[in-house]
Amino acid sequence: MLKYIPHGNNKHNWWTFSFIFFVTLVSMGCAYFVHAYPKKYQQPAPIVALAPEIKKDEPVEKLSIDEQVNIIPAVSAATILEEKNKDPIIPLAERNKNPLTRLDEAKEFAKPQILTGKYIDISLKFQNMVIFEDGKVLDAYQISSGKKGMDTPIGTFKVENKTPRAWSKDYGLWMPNWMAILPSGKVGIHELPIWPGGYQEGAKHLGTPVSHGCVRLGKDAAKRVYDWVEIGTPVVIH
């Protein structure tokens, strides 16, 4: 029969064994917990934050393009100007019957082709003249351009010379407030012609092409343009 003979400090060995066993047991439990715990619960929960309160005088951050939803795009000044310069929605026949309406439309819808200095814009289609300065409309007047077969030339010209009372050798009449637009003097802008006996013709024809190629203006309009225009002022006829 064997008999256990104690060796060394039995109490010290017991506590050492107990500590090692406890540490081993805890380590195994942690390892099991890590592997057995579902991964979906190990992921960090999404952070939900309330919108911060906007304080008075505090700058507000603008939304990015992707964050903007159902925002109506702003209309630029260029677009407004383009819409303004479109031909009015009024039938051409109605405009032709109402010369005063045509002048109002010319002042509102005419598009300046020269934006600096003075220039004269003549529309053969609507039989009117608009005078511009630095791109702004100053006034509009009825004209009478060349009749068929003696059409007023189309293009860009300039005032070559001017005189308060020119005499036409070809037609034997006076042309007050004369402003030549061709160097030859064959075509120009002038007041309604006056015959040697004093009769002034064409007042009822303003707004209708009846001239021999020149651009006729009424008495007051011709004086206004003549006093305003300078030698070299551009004249655009279209």
Residue 119 to residue 136: CA distance in whole angstroms:
10
Residue 131 to residue 124: CA distance in whole angstroms:
15
pTM of the model: 0.60
pLDDT by residue for the chain (238 residues), tens only, comes to 444 445 555 555 666 666 777 767 766 766 655 555 555 445 544 444 444 555 555 554 544 444 444 433 444 444 444 444 444 444 444 445 577 788 888 888 888 999 999 999 999 999 999 999 999 999 999 999 999 999 999 999 999 999 999 999 999 999 999 999 999 999 999 999 999 999 998 888 899 999 999 999 999 999 999 999 999 999 999 9
Residue 190 to residue 85: CA distance in whole angstroms:
29
Burial of residue 69 (number of CB atoms within 10 Å: 0-12, 13-18, 19+) = exposed
pLDDT for the residue numbered 112? 94
Closest listed residue to residue 201, CA positions, set 235, 161, 174: 174
- 196 Cβ partners below 8 Å, 6+ apart? 172, 173, 174
Phi and psi at 81, nearest 5°, equal -65, -40
**Token reading at 175:** 């042309």
Homologous superfamily, domain 82-237: L,D-transpeptidase catalytic domain-like (2.40.440.10)
Residue 151 to residue 169: CA distance in whole angstroms:
19
**Token reading at 21:** 């066993």
Residue 143 to residue 169: CA distance in whole angstroms:
23
**Pairing label, strands 161-168, 136-144:** unpaired
Phi and psi at 115, nearest 5°, equal -105, -5
